[in-house]
Amino acid sequence: MTDPRPLHVLIAGGGLAGLATAQGLLKSGHTVEVFERDADLNRKQGYYLHFNAIGGEALRRCLPDDLFALYQETSRRSYDRPESIVLDDQLNELSSRPHMGPPNDGPVPHTGVHRRTLRQVLSARLGDAMRVGAPVVSYVEDADGVTATLADGSTARGDVLVGADGIRSAVRRQLLPDVPVIPTGIRGIGVFGRTPITPELDELMPHILDQGVLMAVDRKGSRLLIANFRPRRPADEAAAEVAPDVVLDPVPAYIMVSCSLTEGTVVPPVGEWTAQTPLDLRESMLAAVEGWHPAARAIVAGLDPESMFAIPFGFLEPAETWEPSRVTIVGDAAHGMLPTLGMGANLALNDAALLVDQLDRVARGEVDVPAAVGAYEQQMRETSYPILRMTLDHDKNFGGGALAEASGDRQAG
């Protein structure tokens, strides 16, 4: 057992998992330092994130009441059907399956968020506790604490180090050097962008496109992911009323799109894109949806070239149980998975809530740090690993193509 006292926790990574962990620890009276690699927090990482009660309720646990209310107000409007729906190329329904996760039918169901808005909510009030442009490169642990070293050679000392540094985590590389990242490239649906919802587009769209996340497919194998984001309230307006000290960028309604490319289309590595690249990729997508419903074609044709980007996906194999210590991992660092089930962010937030609960036990003097970390890691593995495995089955069964690319059958990129 230990003397009851709040902990000082170092967090590598200011993504969703790291920021939620920081907020949850501050809410419980601990202190934190967050080290984020990127100096610019606007790197393109995706737009709409589908949420369920796993991620949403974890946010309730980690955020102060007003920031949680702000998350709710700025999240997507409720939809009629809590299901993932598959459509044909004329946007007729082919099949559906319920969203994953526990019951989600409270007065304000969890729906989905604009990623950047959520990150702004999660970084609110961190002040000097968050440093950007500050990658963690290694750590040394001893009986009394852990020292993290940053890329500039400076160090920070804490009771615990949390690796929330994403799928290519430096902290995991040191903690679990035998866990490789299995890259899958961008063949499946790795090129993303946003289409603004104009009144003309709105008029064209059948009502079914207002139902959360949808996938349309044709007999040739072309696929179009459509995720429609209309917030419950405009982000800037909600912030001004609910938490006036928090600044949120306005986010006009949009559709997040990812679409197949025609056979043979080459997607250059991200660093080699020119102004022409997104235009060419959009043309290729339009050719891939030749003959589709006019709304589907209008959604692809309306893609904002500025918004387009490519993400090479990857995933981790579940790691064997390891010896708990003062260093742990959360989110994609622990269970990076293919995005097809829309679960990675939900599980990342869930890890944050589980870890905060366990570290609170240390602060109450009930357990020591390794015992608390071990209990968290056991819960994390039990919750996340089965879903990680499901994403692999889903890719195989749904023909996502990501695993084919992982095995060397590369077509694009």
Ligand X SMILES: Cc1cc2nc3c(=O)[nH]c(=O)nc-3n(C[C@H](O)[C@H](O)[C@H](O)COP(=O)(O)OP(=O)(O)OC[C@H]3O[C@@H](n4cnc5c(N)ncnc54)[C@H](O)[C@@H]3O)c2cc1C
Q: CB under 6 A: which stretch of 43-51, 58-66, 274-282, 375-383 binds ligand X? A: 43-51
Residues with Cβ within 8 Å of 372's Cβ and at least 6 positions away in sequence, in order, are 358, 359, 361, 362
12 near ligand X (CB under 6 A): yes
8 Å CB contact between 114 and 321: no
346 binds ligand X (CB under 6 A): yes
Ranges within 170-209 binding ligand X (CB under 6 A):
170, 192
* 348: contact with ligand X by CB under 6 A: yes
Q: Which stretch binds ligand X (CB under 6 A): 12-20, 98-106, 317-325, 405-413?
A: 12-20
Pick between residue 139 and residue 292 the one whose CB is nearest to ligand X. 139
Q: Which is nearer to ligand X, 112 or 302 (CB)?
A: 112
CB closer to ligand X, 67 vs 256? 256
- Give the nearer residue to ligand X in terms of CB position, either 12 or 242: 12
Question: What CA–CA distance (Å, rounded) separates 409 from 60?
Answer: 43
Strands 313-316 and 181-185: antiparallel
CA-nearest of 91, 9, 43, 17 to 336 is: 17
Nearer residue to ligand X within complex by CB, 49 or 205: 49
Tell me the C-alpha distance between 167 and 214, whole Å. Answer: 26
Could you say which DSSP state residue 333 is in? H
Query: Which of 189, 215, 85, 259 is closest to 400 using CA atoms?
Result: 189
225: Cβ–Cβ under 8 A, 6 or more apart, which residues? Answer: 189, 213, 214, 215, 256, 257, 258, 259
| Residue 315 lies near ligand X (rule: CB under 6 A) | no
Tell me the closest approach of the beta carbon of residue 350 to ligand X, in angstroms: 10
Number of Cβ within 10 Å of residue 275's Cβ equals 8
CB of 219 to ligand X, least distance (A): 26
Could you say whether residue 288 binds ligand X (CB under 6 A)?
A: no
Residue 3 buriedness (CB in 10 A; 0-12 / 13-18 / 19+):
exposed
Interface residue with ligand X, options 56, 188, 314, 344 (CB under 6 A): 344
Stretch that binds ligand X, among 63-71, 277-285, 317-325, 326-334 (CB under 6 A): 326-334
- Write down the least CB distance from residue 336 to ligand X, Å: 7
| 113 counts as binding ligand X under rule CB under 6 A | no
Is residue 345 within the footprint of ligand X (CB under 6 A)?
Answer: yes
Residue 61 dihedral angles phi and psi, to the nearest 5°: -65, -40
Binding segment for ligand X (CB under 6 A), chosen from 13-21, 259-267, 282-290, 370-378, is 13-21
How far apart CA 75 and CA 71 sit, in angstroms, is 6
- Does 342 help bind ligand X (rule: CB under 6 A)? yes
Query: Within its chain, how far is the Cα of 50 from the centroid?
Result: 9
* Contact map string, positions 228 to 247, toward ligand X, x by CB under 6 A: --------------------
15 binds ligand X (CB under 6 A): yes
* Nearer to ligand X (CB atom), residue 49 or residue 63: 49
Q: How far is the CB of 160 from ligand X (least distance, A)?
A: 16
Q: Is 302:201 a contact under the CB 8 Å cutoff?
A: yes
Stretch that binds ligand X, among 35-43, 56-64, 98-106, 385-393 (CB under 6 A): 35-43
Beta carbon nearer to ligand X, 13 or 109: 13
Minimum gap (Å) between residue 35 Cβ and ligand X: 5
Alpha carbon distance 145, 87 (integer Å): 54
331: left (phi over 0), alpha (psi -120 to 50) or beta: left
Separation CA 208–CA 370 (nearest Å): 49
Residue 212 binds ligand X (CB under 6 A): no
Residue 34 engages ligand X in binding (rule: CB under 6 A): no
**CB of 348 closer than 8 Å to CB of 335:** no
Is residue 83 a contact residue for ligand X (CB under 6 A)? no
Residue 364: strand, helix, or coil: coil
The amino acid present at 115, given as its one-letter code, is: R
331 forms part of the interface with ligand X (CB under 6 A): yes
Count of beta carbons in the 10 Å neighbourhood of residue 243:
21
Task: List the x/- string, 131-170, binding to ligand X by CB under 6 A.
Answer: ----xx---------------------------xxx---x
Q: How far is the CB of 287 from ligand X (least distance, A)?
A: 22
Judged by the rule CB under 6 A, the positions of this chain that interact with ligand X are 12-18, 35-38, 46, 49-50, 135-136, 164-166, 170, 192, 311, 331-333, 339, 342-346, 348
